[in-house]
Amino acid sequence: MLLAIASDHGGYELKETIKEHLRERGVKFVDLGTNNTDSVDYPVYGKACAETVAAGKAERGIVCCGTGIGISIAANKVKGIRCGLCTSVEMATLTRQHNNANMLALGGRTTDPKLALEIVDAFLDTEFEGGRHKRRTDMLDEM
Ligand code: RB5
């Protein structure tokens, strides 16, 4: 699986932690920035990551900002993106099983890094259940 990953300054440290975890897992990724903690605008990075996933250049995406909120809003404005902001392993599991989320958003200032890595693992390792959930994700994709 090839992932796209991006953050603003508020999510930069968590993005770097996630990258190290992905390397340890042997998951390939493309890092779309930001590259330091200088203040930047989260819509730019959410959009870049979402467009990469929507174009099929990466299978899934992970985005981080301070809370995960702003960057998930940005990602979800791109057609074909279903980005779940998760603060627990259960949410990450369910957003894959039920929403077929193709992007995960995390808060670098609000989620403990160790928990964030467990959330990433659940996001990567959980399959979509299909069935009645497919009808609903199709409705999302038509909006
Ligand atoms: C940046 O200070 C902060 O607003 C941003 O990282 C994010 O939390 C927005 O939702």
Query: Of all atoms in ligand 1, which is nearest to the CA of residue 9?
Result: 6
Closest C-alpha to 95, from 111, 112, 82, 81: 82
CA distances (Å), 39 to each of 44, 55, 63, 119, in order?
12, 27, 16, 26
Is 133 part of the annotated catalytic residue set?
Answer: no
Please, which residues have CB within 8 angstroms of residue 139's CB and are 6 or more apart in sequence? none
Which one of the listed residues 9, 49, 64, 65 is annotated catalytic?
Answer: 65
What pTM did the predictor assign?
Answer: 0.98
Which DSSP helix (H) or strand (E) runs through 67? Answer: none
Rounded to 10 degrees, the C-alpha dihedral 74/68/19/37 comes to: 90
Query: Of all atoms in ligand 1, which is nearest to the CA of residue 65?
Result: 6
Could you report the per-residue pLDDT of 71-114, keeping only the tens digit for each?
A: 999 999 999 999 999 999 999 999 999 999 999 999 999 999 99
- Using the mean position of ligand 1's atoms as its centre, give its distance from the Cα of residue 122 in Å: 24
